[in-house]
Amino acid sequence: MHVAVIIAAGGKGTRLGASRPKQLIEIDGQPILQRAVAIFTSHPEVSEVVVVLPADLAAAPPAYLTNTPPVGPRGDHASVTIVAGGAERQDSVANGFDAVRDRADVVVVHDAARPFASADLVSRTIAAAVRTGAALAALPSSDTVKLAAAGRDLDAGPRVERTIPRERIYLAQTPQAFRTGVLRDAIAAGRRGMAVTDEAALAEYVGHPVELVPGEVTNIKITTAADLRAARALAGGGRTESRMRIGTGYDLHRVIDGRPLVLGGVTIATDRGLDGHSDADVLSHAVTDAILGAVAGGDIGRHFPDTDPEWKGASSLAMLRHAVGIARERGYRVSNVDAVVIAERPKLAPHVDAIRERLAAELGVDAGRVGLKGKTNEGIGEIGRGEAMAVHAVAMLIEDSSEEP
């Protein structure tokens, strides 16, 4: 039996309020989309997976989709195909169906925003579709259900029309599975203008029976920021506290004549500055490396090589902003940083407050979360002789559970 899976990931996730498609946001170090796809690529009953993405993302898909292993001799990895989505969810699923309808016996439709469906749930839904023609995972309602009356008073909320017996109420999930002929009929109804929120409703509309398969409480759909926080707690084994990452950074630059001295984005009046390809802001460099280290994002030389003319004389604060952005992409934000500037001259104390404020603005934190200390090297070594300046930095990052993931 040839089982094809369509992963519906063609939306932008606007209700989450993120600056990028929600399927790319990471949970416990792994993108939501990657988690959803992995449910099926490793499933022993699945032959192929079609991932439906927004057109721009389909043109340049993430590497974890294009590098997925092909089908093995025992079907241990399903192949992955990428197609562009449509204007609405049902249009995207229809595009995915077009890619598999000529060879599939059963087609499973799953929302990318549900990254925790179990292999057992997938198997049970497929078996029910083979038996009945169409099936979906669903949870029985545990709450009393009220049907609101049509219309509402301007000065009051909705009114109850009647109470619906909750024993007959189920909350739909995905996966949903269909024999190919059933889904063909359902999609044809959608293309004729029947607008619904899932394919099971289209199958119902054209008269096919749909079996309810017991769903899973952990099979949550990530729609809002609160859902994202719950998903991250679930991925972390039920932990509700923010996960923490700590990184360290270090940098050293030679002190030379004829260069400005820039520390933390603040130019300090002195006759000698630091040698470097950029503005040689040794403090910003060390903090940048600490942030990159906390999220295993490489080092500053990898992102800003001194052979790249783009960074010749550039402000190191741009590098710092880049590191903060990488952390945000991986689901983290800066909680606080602490740095020690080691130099014989000039005295750091008169400039500490200005530097802390400038760094805090770039890091997206209050100045009270930026620690900065000045130390000398007691006349020892190249730093003690005033030939170099060094900085040690530590950054603590926490999981970003804000409204802007």
Q: CA torsion, points 194, 198, 200, 206, in degrees to nearest 10?
A: 0
| Residue range 306-311: mean pLDDT, rounded | 77
Mean pLDDT across the chain: 88
Q: Is the dihedral angle over the CA atoms 285, 287, 288, 292 positive or is it negative?
A: positive
Q: Tell which wins on pLDDT, 197 or 339.
A: 339
pLDDT for the residue numbered 238: 53
pLDDT for the residue numbered 151: 74
Question: How many Å apart are CA 397 and CA 131, to the nearest integer?
Answer: 50
Domain 244-399 has CATH 3.30.1330.50: yes
Do the beta carbons of residue 27 and residue 232 sit within 8 Å?
yes
pLDDT for the residue numbered 114: 95
What confidence category does residue 73 fall into, taking pLDDT thresholds of 50, 70 and 90? very low
Contacts made by residues 93-100, CB under 8 angstroms, sequence distance 24+: 93/6, 93/8, 93/52, 93/187, 93/199, 94/187, 94/190, 94/191, 95/10, 95/52, 96/6, 96/7, 96/8, 96/50, 96/52, 97/6, 97/183, 97/184, 97/187, 99/50, 100/4, 100/6, 100/48, 100/50
pTM of the model: 0.65
Report the range of poorest mean pLDDT among 200-209, 211-220, 308-317, 344-353.
308-317
Does residue 82 sit in helix, strand or coil?
Answer: strand
pLDDT in tens, 347-397: 999 999 999 999 999 999 999 999 999 999 989 999 989 899 999 999 999
Report the range of poorest mean pLDDT among 59-68, 109-118, 333-342.
59-68
Q: Where are the alpha helices (DSSP H) in 206-331?
A: 225-235, 282-294, 300-303, 316-329
Question: How many Å apart are CA 290 and CA 295, to the nearest integer?
Answer: 9
pLDDT in tens, 145-184: 999 988 766 677 888 999 998 888 999 999 999 999 999 9
pLDDT for the residue numbered 76: 58
Domains 3-150+167-235 and 244-399 share a fold: no
Max CA pair span of the chain: 87
* 277 class by beta-carbon count within 10 Å (0-12 exposed, 13-18 middle, 19+ buried): middle
| Residue range 83-102: mean pLDDT, rounded | 93
Q: Which residues, 6+ apart, have CB-to-CB distance to 226 below 8 Å? A: none
pLDDT in tens, 238-272: 554 457 899 999 999 999 998 999 999 999 999 89
| CATH architecture classification, 3-150+167-235 | Alpha-Beta Complex (3.90)
Question: How many Å apart are CA 277 and CA 304, to the nearest integer?
Answer: 10
Question: Strand ranges (DSSP E) for 343-379?
Answer: 370-375
At 176, which helix (H) or strand (E)?
A: strand 170-179
pLDDT for the residue numbered 13: 59
pLDDT for the residue numbered 153: 65
pLDDT in tens, 93-114: 999 999 999 999 999 999 999 9
Nearest to 107 by CA among 21, 245, 203: 203
pLDDT for the residue numbered 77: 73
The answer, yes or no, to whether residue 45 has pLDDT greater than 50, is: yes
For the chain, the structural domain boundaries read 3-150+167-235, 244-399
